[in-house]
Amino acid sequence: MNRMTSITKAFTTLIVTSVGTILGSTSAHAAGDLAFDETSNLFVADGHSISKFARDGTKSTFAAGLKYPLGLCFDGKGNLFVSDGAVTDPKSSILKFTVDGKRSKFATGISSVGMAFDRAGDLFVSQGDAIFKFTPEGKKSTFISSKIANFIDLAFDRGGNLFVLDQAVTVPGLGHSIFEITPDGMKSTFATGLEDPSGLAVDTTGNVYVTVVTPADASSHAILKFSPDGTNSTFTSVLGADVARGLGVDRAGSVFVWTGHSILKVDPSGTPSTFASEWVSPDKQWEYKRWIDGHGPGIVKADTTQVVLDFSEELKVDRTGEGAVVWAPDSKRLAFNYSPPHAHHTTYETVALYQLREDKWVALQSPVDEASERAQLAQLARKHSPKNTYRKADSSPVRDDLKVRSWTDANTVILYAYSAGNGGEAAALFTLKFDAKGDFKIVKMHRMSEKELEEKQ
């Protein structure tokens, strides 16, 4: 697929309200859920926090207690800007973090996955059918507006050209598009026919990268590479079933992809490696795989295909659901959060626990049993306190969630249980303590308040 060079016809519906604004060049920082600072530290939005990864992969928490961080990008002074909150949330805002982590509100009432700075220090933010421009002082203006657009990601090249990823389909059968706006306001279609694109980045030499779905069944994802003249090639198909939540390029030209559980690094030649992963055990000996030879999730020895634990043999796993492993800090225990088969109009998640014994993973007692009848919160509450029946969660809920939230140490795990049905909703946190044999007892229960539930939602 070659570049389409029609300057005005393919983009006539866009209205540039600030034609003539000179866009300066920036480094190859990308919008989305990840971004690099000037010293090549990588920042990633995950859940309600922002993690910082040093160049050697060492992880630390940069910011916590956020609503829903998106659209990370840095200005020329090293300040990190983050869109926090859902697009539909009127209280959403753009936050500014200084180099030392001090937080302030830069703008309110706006949320976006796409943000990028020009050299002049102006911030460009995509939201729905518009792209807004903020001066360094926070003055807002409309840069682009279109009734048929759905702008999701932005990136500048070194020449000051703004690339815009649009998920709106303007012409049936043509898929989605990337638009290019030059510093003098000229606009063109850079690429079209993209299947469900989700991330955009530009490297220092002007190559444009975008993540797309490859087959019609949306079972596989790839990163496409466009040279400055628009020539298209597949950069890598290593993503497989994983959806890119963030895309960025470092100064060496390596592409980094955040999948929600792992950060993949693909060097300029297209060779992939794992930069960091929540699915690799802390001791780097074991790795969780969502699919093994096409027949289900399990654990393999790291950097091999040797299966040591096949969850599809041990458990009834709904193949349409996404499982996840949470490792104990000493890599001797793991929790597998997964979804068993269930009625399509309900949500059902539960957890299985395992312990390593003489190089073999063995199943531990489940926190709940089959008698729970999909009322896991009620059963756990009764175990902790026989007098506590948790009546709001007793009757066959339409949503029944039980998952490990975290390990506080090698022997202590925090379980999150949520239940919703005709009787209302309820949630609680349970602290489980394990002995050397792997037997556990519930040592603490925290009933979540309505305010905590609202914040969780």
Q: Convert the pLDDT of each residue in 58-78 to its tens digit.
A: 889 899 888 889 889 999 999
Q: Indicate if the pLDDT at residue 396 is higher than 50.
A: yes
Q: What is the mean pLDDT of residues 113-140?
A: 92
Q: State the pLDDT at residue 171.
A: 61
At residue 199 the predicted structure's pLDDT band, cuts being 50, 70 and 90, is confident
pLDDT of residue 266: 94
- Burial (Cβ within 10 Å: 0-12, 13-18, ≥19) of residue 74: buried
Distance from C-alpha of 8 to C-alpha of 6, rounded to nearest angstrom: 6
**Average pLDDT of the residues in 362-389:** 78
* Count of CA atoms in the C-beta half-sphere (13 A) of 408: 9
**How much is the average pLDDT of 21-38?**
54
Three-class secondary structure of residue 376 per DSSP: helix
Q: What percent of the chain has pLDDT over 70?
A: 84
Q: 450-457: which pairs have CB atoms within 8 A and are 24 or more residues apart?
A: 452/427, 453/425, 453/426, 453/427, 456/427
Does residue 419 have a pLDDT over 60? Answer: yes
Whether pLDDT at 328 is above 60: yes
Report the pLDDT averaged over residues 36-47. Answer: 91
Report the relative pairing of strands 232-240 and 246-249 from DSSP bridges.
unpaired
What average pLDDT does range 1-27 have in this prediction? 32
Query: What local confidence, expressed as pLDDT, does residue 319 receive?
Result: 60
Which of 170, 132, 193 has the alpha carbon at shortest distance from 13? 170
d(CA 410, CA 403): 17
Q: What pLDDT score does 16 carry?
A: 32
Cα-to-chain-centroid distance, residue 162: 24
Q: Which residue has the higher pLDDT, 48 or 108?
A: 108
Alpha carbon dihedral 245, 330, 429, 354, in 10-degree steps, equals 90
Distance CA 166, CA 154 (A): 9
Mean of pLDDT over the chain: 83
- In the three-class reduction of DSSP (H, G, I as helix; E, B as strand; rest coil), residue 455 is classed as helix
SS (H, E, C) 427-452: EEEEEEEECCCCCEEEEEEEECCHHH
Q: Distance (Å, rounded) from C-alpha 21 to C-alpha 154?
A: 17
DSSP symbols for 286-342? EEEES-STTS--EEEETTS--EEEEHHHHS---TTS--EEEE-TTSSEEEEEE--S-
391 has a pLDDT exceeding 80 = no
Secondary structure letter of residue 22 according to DSSP = P
Most confident of 35-44, 83-92, 171-180, 284-293: 35-44
How far is CA 164 from each of CA 125, 193, 200, 257, rounded to the nearest angstrom?
Answer: 10, 15, 8, 19
Question: Model confidence over 211-243: pLDDT tens digits?
Answer: 998 876 667 889 999 999 889 999 998 887 777
Q: Hunting for tokens 């499982």 — which residue is that?
A: 323
**Higher per-residue pLDDT: 456 or 69:** 69
CB under 8 A, 24+ apart: contacts of 335-339: 335/403, 335/404, 335/407, 335/413, 336/297, 336/311, 337/403, 337/404, 338/297, 338/311
Residue 22's pLDDT band, with cuts at 50, 70 and 90, is very low
12-16, 278-282, 332-336, 411-415: which has the minimum mean pLDDT? 12-16
β pairing state of 347-357 and 399-409: parallel
**What residues does 404 pair with on adjacent strands?**
415
Region 431-445 average pLDDT: 95
Cα–Cα distance measured from residue 35 to residue 168, given in angstroms and rounded to the nearest whole number: 25
pLDDT band at 10 (very low <50, low <70, confident <90, very high): very low
Is pLDDT larger for residue 7 or for residue 224? 224
Sort 386 into a burial class: Cβ within 10 Å, 0-12 / 13-18 / 19+. Answer: exposed
pLDDT of residue 119: 86
What length is written for the chain?
Answer: 457
The span from the CA of 182 to the CA of 157, in Å, is 10
Over residues 245-274, the mean pLDDT reads 91
Q: What is the pLDDT of residue 392?
A: 47
Q: Has residue 201 got a pLDDT over 80?
A: yes
Mean pLDDT of 98-121: 91
Task: Find all residues with CB under 8 Å of 417, minimum gap 6, and list them.
Answer: 376, 377, 380, 401, 402, 427, 428, 429, 430
Residue 290 one-letter amino acid: R
Half-sphere exposure (CA, 13 Å, Cβ side) for 307? 15
Using the structure block, give the residue that is written with the tokens 């975290």.
406
Are 278 and 329 in contact by the 8 Å Cβ rule? The answer is no
Give dist(CA 32, CA 246) in Å, integer. 5
Residue 15 pLDDT > 50: no
CB 360 within 8 A of CB 387: no
Strands 399-409 and 412-421 turn out to be: antiparallel
pLDDT at residue 340, as a whole number: 86
pLDDT band (50, 70, 90) for residue 274: confident
